[in-house]
Chains A and B, each alone.
Chain A
Amino acid sequence: MCRIAGIAGLNRNGDERELQVKEMCNKLKHGGPDDGGIYRDDNNNLVLGNRRLSLIDLSPAGHMPMAYENRYHITYNGEIYNFEDLKTELKALGFSFSNHTDTEVILAAFSQWKTLAFAKLKGMFAFALWDSVEKELYLVRDASGIKPLYYSLNNSGMVFGSEIRAFNRQTQQPGWEPWEVYLMAYGHIPEPITTLSGVKPLPKGCFLKYNIASGKSSLQSFAHYSYSEWQQDADQIKRNVATRLEEAVKRHLVADAPLGVFLSGGLDSGILALLAEKFKHQQLVTLSIYFKEGYYSEKKYQDIIQLKLQCEHRQFLLEEQEFNQSLPEILEAMDMPSCDGINTWFISRHAKNNGMKAVLSGIGGDELFGGYPSFMRIPYARAIQDYAGSLTGMGKSANHKVLKRMQYLKMEGIHGIYLFLRGLFNPLDIARYLDMTEKQVWEILNQFPVYPNIRRLDKGNQASWMEFNMYMQNQLLRDADVMSMIHGVEIRLPFLYEDVIRYAISIHPKYKYGGRWPKQLLIDSFSGILPREIYDRPKMGFSFPFQEWLKSSSLVKNLMEGAGTMLGNSYKDFLNGRMHWSQFMTLVLLRHKKAIV
């Protein structure tokens, strides 16, 4: 797990190029504190850079960028969980290896299978691989989009990096910045938008081939996930869900450095901890955060899981004062603004303070097995979108949050549904804050992202598709990556192991989403080990006491002082409990970025 950066072309001399990549790497140093390296090929105008966080083969043999057969070079960020299997296969084909890293396996796999190798890698990854014979540079990103990779491509060359902060603002093309509109509508900046208009994320499951000699590039997809309804045997489904997740957890525990499990108190992380203990026994450490504010605290449920485990549990009490002290640092850590991810910042810091380098998290469970309210709400949203278009007009003048968002159902497809269910501000409000016309806001929101028509899918699978490809992709995974790597901690996601995903999305919706509780199938699959209290309980919304804490933040107060009337009124609304913290947080972020006055 590391951070990567690099430059190909761009009409500079080798020293300048190297200097720029080193600068990019320095900006990403937090994500790779253990080692740093540069590969430079002046004949091909190429520099690859790497900051390393070592987890497998901690020796200098894992130094990056790494070379193979004197032909292939890689700078890589991620973990390949099936690398031992691939290594065995490659050894049988006559390949030899000089170290114990998964990095070298990627290189040998590419030497053998070329671009078909990418689909064989099961894990989370983003890398740049240089083939010095074909003069081709490949940027590659995993099928779930867990690891980020951004690039900027023009006639003179290409620049890439793990985070937006690595890019020079010079890559910014002049003009106006639509990301502000997206942030206010979504609460985050959805792919393919970024805060720098010349910089794009590489789509998940894709590789970009860039030929240095010709300057030509080609984007190809190498893996994707499609929903089906193959699995229809209820008993077999439960058994298979259990064995696949267990296998995934086992593979995610492979590390030569200390590793823990985030315990939220919920079902998904509970299952992961219970499974992980099987393989790691007493070596396992669970980590959690709790609050004095009883209503928000999940401590009771964390303790219930802990009682079933023999391992060490490190709980961390987060209090208002510390929250507010850390807030400035958190805003800087964000890379691109997002109204969420603060919880991940704290728990990752807690992990780091306890000597952990990698931690398992339950992201993906809600998306694949139906843990969100959207699974219930999507049929109604579709019905309004299809048959009651006139109702959407009511939203414009309405005061109620949900009615206001109903306007979004005017947008076709899953876009409209998402913003209705999860959007923050409606277009009229966005226009007012950003001093633009409502029409302009609609135009921007309609332009990107472009999503496929998913109506063919069952409603439950539509919700799953939406949560997986929109909310998880653009909010959860990005936030988790940035907020953990800022502390040099790697988050591993067993629910997003390829075998788990492929199986989950092939289960007939009838067996996947039915039942008394959300994620009933997960409950049934692990009924033997799961304490009843973990699922037979009222569902928590967001589990941080933000609404109260933000009110006393001096940073927020300073930012809001001197703001215009509109923002001032919003601050008052927030203080009086008339504005939700996530909406207010978005305004804070915009103010912080000097995007609104």
Chain B
Amino acid sequence: MFGATGGIEKVCRIVAKALFEMTLVDRVKLNVMSMHDRQDQGDENRYFPTESFKAFNKKKVSFIAAAVRAGAKSDLVILSHINLLLVGWLIKKISPRTKIVLFAHGIEVWRELSPRRKMMISCCDHIFSVSSYTAGIVSKIPGVGSGRSEVLNNCLDPLLPQKNKGIQNHKLREHYGFSDSDRVMFTLTRLSSRERYKGYDKVLEAMVNLMPQYPNLKYLVAGSYDAKEKAFLDDLVIKLGLTGYVKFAGFIPDESLIDHFAMADLYVMPSMKEGFGIVFIEAMFYGLPVIAGNRDGSVDALLNGKLGVLVDPLNVDEISAAISKVFNHTETYKPNRELLLAQFGYDTYKIKLGNLLKPTTVLQAV
């Protein structure tokens, strides 16, 4: 929950905050358990107090034993990942009345489940998928059916800082060698040679089409990368003749994300395997127009295209056309903030989560 910065960890922190706040108004008790975190990693978190947070520092057996013991005494257990299915299954064996809810995020449930998981998944009373796309796949798992499958879209982190009033974009642009008149496209993702499905390579190809029309087009790709992928991209940039137009920023800490969003003109990530794509709603929160792929959970994040432009992630021409369209009509493609908050605001999320969990009295999140 605290040891990593990925989307799933973010969802866990937000869910724990929402559950904690439910304990302030209802007669509900909450225990939060984490297999991978160290206890001290939760200490100063801003999401929920850690009196009832127990971390097991990767001690799998102790975690399972403790989670099953506590879970069997609870009315409801939320499993934050399918890897915890064994915990849910054991709890259900000991305490059939305990309701089990599984969170399904993305590729971890898209691929064919092992026979053991297929058997155990029947322990889940509900599976909350982060997008309709994931829910569609989940409901086809034998034994799940549409009756147990629900959609609970991810939401904006309520602790996301607001855009500064008079922020100086100039400095960061200068840092990357961009000028104020450049049109800057931005992608934030891990760059992995094993998971090349985020579409940044396709954006590079699209740039070639766009350069004659937009000679001041620049592309910033941020996120940690492995050496192999970096070498591949460096070669690709040279091969496409884009040297000097593309920057790889590497890992950027959360606190400087806001400046990066503020500096860019467009967020583009025509991904193929996005469970939902929290980064899209974050980019929109900071007012950026967004382009995403139309073959995965991104469709939900962009509200079927109401909040941004959806493209075929394999079609370079379509990507080029979308970028051009956004640049020619920037104001038109700026996301509708009201709609964004109504759909993906934390308040909305909490209400939806509360409605889906009712009527339960004791919560256990693992």
Contacts and interface: CB of A to CB of B under 8 A. Distances in A.
Interface of A: 93-95, 112-116, 119, 203, 206, 209, 216, 218-221, 223-230, 447-448, 450, 452-454, 456-457, 465, 506
Contact of B159 (A116, A209, A228): A116
A133 to B, nearest CB: 12
A219 B40 contact: no
Interface in B43-58: 43-44, 46, 48-54
A447 to B, nearest CB: 7
Interface stretch (B26-34, B97-105, B123-131, B267-275): B26-34
12 contacts: A93-B164, A94-B166, A112-B165, A113-B162, A116-B161, A218-B347, A221-B17, A450-B23, A450-B27, A452-B29, A453-B52, A454-B52
B238 interface: no
A115 B346 CA distance: 12
A221 B20 contact: yes
Contacts of A452: 23, 29-30, 49, 51-52
A594 B27 CA distance: 30
A474 to B, nearest CB: 15
Contacts, number: 80
Given A225-B49, A230-B43, A454-B51, A114 B162 contact: yes
B229 interface: no
A228 B44 CA distance: 8
B25 A219 contact: yes
A450 B24 CA distance: 8
A484 B292 CA distance: 59
A221 B54 contact: no
Interface in B129-184: 158-159, 161-162, 164-166
Tell me if A's interface is mostly helix, strand, loop or mixed: loop
Nearest to B161: A116
A453 B29 contact: yes
Interface in B1-45: 17, 20-21, 23-25, 27-31, 40, 42-44
A345 to B, nearest CB: 31
B295 interface: no
A162 B161 CA distance: 30
Interface of B: 17, 20-21, 23-25, 27-31, 40, 42-44, 46, 48-54, 158-159, 161-162, 164-166, 346-347, 350-351
Contacts of A230: 40, 43
Contacts of B166: 93-94
A451 to B, nearest CB: 8
Contact of A226 (B23, B24, B51, B162): B51
Nearest to B43: A228
A463 to B, nearest CB: 13
Given A224-B48, A228-B43, A452-B49, A93 B165 contact: yes
B27 A220 contact: no
Given A218-B347, A226-B51, 8 more contacts: A95-B165, A113-B162, A116-B159, A203-B24, A448-B27, A450-B23, A453-B29, A465-B51
A113 B158 CA distance: 12
A225 B50 CA distance: 9
B347 A209 contact: yes
Contacts of B162: 112-114, 116
A311 B99 CA distance: 65
B51 A220 contact: no
B46 A456 contact: no
Contacts of B48: 221, 224
Contacts of B161: 113, 116
A112 B164 CA distance: 7
B31 A453 contact: yes
Contact of A221 (B21, B27, B29, B51): B21
A230 B20 CA distance: 24
A203 B28 CA distance: 15
